[in-house]
Amino acid sequence: MTPANTYASLYRDTLLNDVIPFWQNHSLDREMGGFYTCLDRTGQVYDTDKFIWLQARQVWTFAMLYNRVEQRPDWLDVSRHGADFLQRFGRADDGSWYFSLTRDGNPLIQPYNIFSDCFATMAFGQLSLATGSDEQANLAESTFRQILARRDNPKGHWNKAVAGTRPLKNFALPMILCNLALEIEHLLDKSLVEQTIDECIHEVMDVFYDPALGLIRENVTPDGQVSDSFEGRLLNPGHAIEAMWFIMDLAVRRNDRSLLDRAVQLTLQTLEYAWDADFGGLLYFMDANGHPPQQLEWDQKLWWVHVETLISLLKGYQHTGDERCWQWFEKVHDYTWKHFPDPENGEWFGYLNRRGEVLLPLKGGKWKGCFHIPRGLYQGWKTLDAIARNQTVRQ
């Protein structure tokens, strides 16, 4: 068994010497502001559109590193560079966040996607911790309140479902709110934080979790029942596993061992269900009844799925000592590090086919930016450090 501190060094060094410099070197638009995220395998820009998800996530990442790793002025500069662009161009008149902008900040795609607002909240919440800026803090807090107000109809008039025929609610929002409430805890009343956490834990662990199936469904009816439809049968294993480390963080905070154990168990169940026995790696989408899913990309291996799984396994092992978590961690680690990193040019590929071959030779695009990999490497590093300290104590 490789000792935890060996892994910890790998995660730390990859974060600080490979992934973060890649984005610092290649992504800043010094002329128009904000970040390029469409970077090819060498870091060259192949498209200049600016997607709010990815602008905000990179603002968050650099502010988080500044707040938690080291107060490096260059990191704070990168975060501010993106935040300035977002503040100038990111919002529609009603304060909601566009989905995408042109290179120079003209709105391209309307604010139909509430996760733009979620990531903007994270970005300005984290940055306000570094800067102490009231304006940034207020922007995070007001955006968070808008999310809560919109949560029952997040797509507004862009929603193509006919109201009432087959109402469904989606897992992504309660899952992200779990994490978001902690991210901006410093800006919210304690009662709102606790209430949001209560609701999110309940939604994730009781409503979207299907005990008969042993897995989390991506969509359920408003009262938490199964819908026998494409949406109702849909499983997104990476999504469910990512949510489990948010839940573990909440369980630790509340000192709730039972919740922690459930989150670990659910991580392992999902992993066993979604692991590809033929080619390794985790499948992207599945149908709970084994029917063909609608998503043509269902069998692909995505970077974020694997990175988030590593975090959940490490946190599970850290907090419970369950050896299954460590065994699975080593297996998923081996797959991930064998297939995703690009030693030739730095950073990681994002999209592999079922066999683990590179499907799209990009480092960033419409959905992949500076977020899951650095967050995962940071979380992995710190968790592995804690595990290594425990191992030392035990020796």
Binding site for its own copies (CB under 8 A): 38, 40, 46-47, 49, 98-99, 102, 106-110, 112, 157-158, 160-162, 165-166, 229-230, 289, 291-294, 296-300, 351, 353-354, 359-362, 365-366
Identify the CA nearest to 355 among candidates 393, 299, 287, 290: 299
Q: Which residues contact 223 (CB under 8 A, 6 or more apart)?
A: none
Q: Which is nearer to its own copies, 186 or 367 (CB)?
A: 367
Q: How far is the CB of 227 from its own copies (least distance, A)?
A: 11
Min separation Cβ 184 and its own copies, Å: 27
| Residue (of 175, 177, 180, 182) closest to 253 by Cα position | 182
CA angle 189, 192, 195 (to 5 degrees): 145
The least CB distance from residue 104 to its own copies, in Å, is 10
Minimum CB separation of residue 336 from its own copies in Å reads 19
We find the least distance from the C-beta atom of residue 165 to its own copies, in angstroms, to be 5
Closest CA relative to residue 1, chosen from 320, 337, 323, 377: 323
CB nearer to its own copies: pick between 126 and 300: 300
Q: Given the complex with its own copies, which of 32 and 388 has the nearer CB atom?
A: 32
For residues 146 and 347, what is the distance between their CA atoms, to the nearest angstrom? Answer: 35
Going 216 to 221 to 223 to 228, the CA torsion angle's sign is: negative
The number of CA neighbours under 13 Å toward the Cβ of 310 is 29
**Would you say 287 or 322 has its CB closer to its own copies?**
287
What's the CA gap between 350 and 304, in Å, rounded? 8
What is the identity of the amino acid at 210? D
To its own copies, the closest distance from the beta carbon of 291 in angstroms equals 4
Cβ 278 to its own copies, closest distance in Å?
Answer: 11
**Please, which residue, 4 or 302, has the CB nearer to its own copies?**
302
* 17 vs 158 by CB, closer to its own copies: 158
Beta bridge partners of 358: 352
219 or 267: CB nearest its own copies:
219
The neighbour count for residue 20, using CB atoms within 10 Å, is 25
